[in-house]
Structure 1
Amino acid sequence: MIVLNYHELVEASPSNAWCLTHETFDAHLALCKDRLVSPQWFLEHCPNPKASRTGSVLLTFDDGFLSDYTHVYARYVKTGRIPGFMSFIPVDFVGSPGRMSWEMIEELGRNGVAIGSHGMAHVDLTTVSDVELSRELTVSKSMLEDRLGQQVTLFAFPYGRFSRRVWDAALKAGYTHLFTIQLGYHRGFEPFLYSRLCLTNRMDADYMRQHVRDPDAMRGVAWRVSTRLGLYRQLMRWRHR
């Protein structure tokens, strides 16, 4: 299973490294469209090790940008060109310039898009107090659930940063699937933790082609050895904060 992570999509002139053009996104989709799965399929099959090796691809988007609704949803989901995606919302940003409104988020949630929390203010959760950590996790969850009328069990760590303290708090808050951008892609690091490839505008079609073909080959020797030996998992268990 390969989980891709996008942010804002624009017509031209990306404003930062994590902002991609429509053209680049189209090129990525062309390379993995036959492997795309819906969020519902992912949630049903992700615990299955055999399913995780099929090369299936899940699309996720962070930060609640307007392009989730105006481009990805309107152009691809509503027309049936993709089977849906996950959208992770930092609640404090809802309705601000360039971000989706609550009405847009609610429409996505009714139509094949899985809505998850990205916290309240998009802060590094490894640096905040226990009280602030609890607020970021629980208040964002309850606000999303109130608006959507359904449980929200997906959470993406802002900046991909997490620790054992953070994931323990997220699980305690009621989240069942936690997403990061560390490690590149899912290898069963923990049964509740899923890694994603964070796409930047330097990752062109050739990069995506190689990644989809063999994600391991896109990682260095140190990463492959540490993954095989489970070193990263032990480090996170020792690192409380």
Structure 2
Amino acid sequence: MIVLNYHELVEASPSNAWCLTHETFEAHLALCGEALVSPRSFLEHCSDPTSHGTGAVLLTFDDGFLSDYTHVYARYMTAGRIPGFMSFIPVDFVGSPGRMSWEMIEELAKGGVAIGSHGMAHVDLTTVSDAELERELGVSKSMLEDRLGRQVALFAFPYGRFSRRVWEAALRAGYTHLFTIQLGYHRGFESFLYSRLCMTNNMDAEYMRRHLRDPDAMRGVSWKISTKLGLYRQLMRLRYH
């Protein structure tokens, strides 16, 4: 499986590298086609990454931007053009300019969107104290669960940054699936870690076509050698200790 990570979608003139136009997103979806899977299907089968075939694609969105609701949900999901997506919410940003309101997030959840936490204030969790880490993980989870009336077991690391201390705290907080953007493939070196391709506005249709054809093509020599030798997990655990 391949997990794609988007942020804000706009009509034109993206304001930063992670902001994509509607046109680019439409081109990506056209290439994904029938390979798109719902979050529910992904979560049911993610323990076996080959269950959907190597070409299966999951859509995820970070930061709670308004376009999750006005564009992805309203234009694509309610019309049946995509089977669903995951939306990761930084709780402190809810209701601020350009971000979704609680009412919108609640509607997404009722409509089948998988809501996950993105912490409270979108901070690099590897740099905060233990007390702040517990707050970022635990309070955001509790607030989302109180508003949605259901368990929130998905967490995406802000900026994709994590360490063993961070992931162990996330597991203690009750999250079961942790998403990053650093590892380049949907399954990380631990069973609870899932990597995503972070889409930037220079990743056009041709880039997406190449990635869908071979997700490992752009991975480095060190990954290929360590994987072949069966050392990848050990080396990653040392790197993120």
For this structure pair, what is the TM-score category when the shorter chain's length is used for normalisation?
over 0.9
Change (3 A) 1:228 1:101: farther
User: Residues 147-226 of structure 1: matches in 2 within 5 Å?
Assistant: 147-226=147-226
Determine the C-alpha separation between the residues in 2 that align with 1:228 and 1:180: 23
More helix by share: 1
Offset, 1:199:
0.3
Determine the C-alpha separation between the residues in 2 that align with 1:30 and 1:107: 26
Determine the C-alpha separation between the residues in 2 that align with 1:105 and 1:208: 29
Q: Secondary structure at the match of 2:55?
A: coil
Change (3 A) 1:15 1:231: farther
Determine the C-alpha separation between the residues in 1 that align with 2:232 and 2:132: 26
Q: Deviations over 1:96-123 (max 9, x none)?
A: 0000000000000001100000000000
Q: Secondary structure at the match of 1:72?
A: helix
Determine the C-alpha separation between the residues in 2 that align with 1:240 and 1:114: 27
Q: Deviations over 1:3-56 (max 9, x none)?
A: 000000000000000000000000000000210000000000000143264311
Q: Deviations over 1:155-187 (max 9, x none)?
A: 000000011100000000000000000111124
Counterpart in the other structure of 2:234? 234
The two structures, once aligned, show a CA RMSD in angstroms of 1.5
Counterpart in the other structure of 1:7? 7
The question of whether the paired residues in 2 share the 8 Å contact of 1:164 and 1:236 is answered with: no
TM-score when normalising by structure 2: 0.96
Offset, 1:61:
0.1
Q: Secondary structure at the match of 2:237?
A: helix
The question of whether the paired residues in 1 share the 8 Å contact of 2:93 and 2:99 is answered with: yes
User: Residues 1-241 of structure 1: matches in 2 within 5 Å?
Assistant: 1-51=1-51, 53-229=53-229, 231=231, 233-238=233-238
Q: Secondary structure at the match of 1:128?
A: coil
Determine the C-alpha separation between the residues in 1 that align with 2:145 and 2:138: 11
The percent of aligned pairs where both chains have the same amino acid is 84
The question of whether the paired residues in 2 share the 8 Å contact of 1:46 and 1:52 is answered with: no
Determine the C-alpha separation between the residues in 2 that align with 1:30 and 1:126: 37
Point out where structure 2 has 5 or more consecutive residues left out of the alignment.
Answer: none
Q: Deviations over 1:113-156 (max 9, x none)?
A: 00000000000000111000000000000000000000000000
Determine the C-alpha separation between the residues in 1 that align with 2:182 and 2:52: 17
Offset, 1:206:
0.4
Change (3 A) 1:172 1:229: farther
Point out where structure 1 has 5 or more consecutive residues left out of the alignment.
Answer: none
The question of whether the paired residues in 1 share the 8 Å contact of 2:85 and 2:113 is answered with: yes
Between the two proteins, the alignment pairs up a number of residues equal to 241
Offset, 1:224:
2.3
Q: Secondary structure at the match of 2:12?
A: coil
Determine the C-alpha separation between the residues in 2 that align with 1:215 and 1:236: 19
Determine the C-alpha separation between the residues in 1 that align with 2:58 and 2:51: 12
TM-score when normalising by structure 1: 0.96
Offset, 1:222:
2.6
Q: Secondary structure at the match of 1:139?
A: helix
Determine the C-alpha separation between the residues in 2 that align with 1:80 and 1:127: 41
Offset, 1:239:
5.3
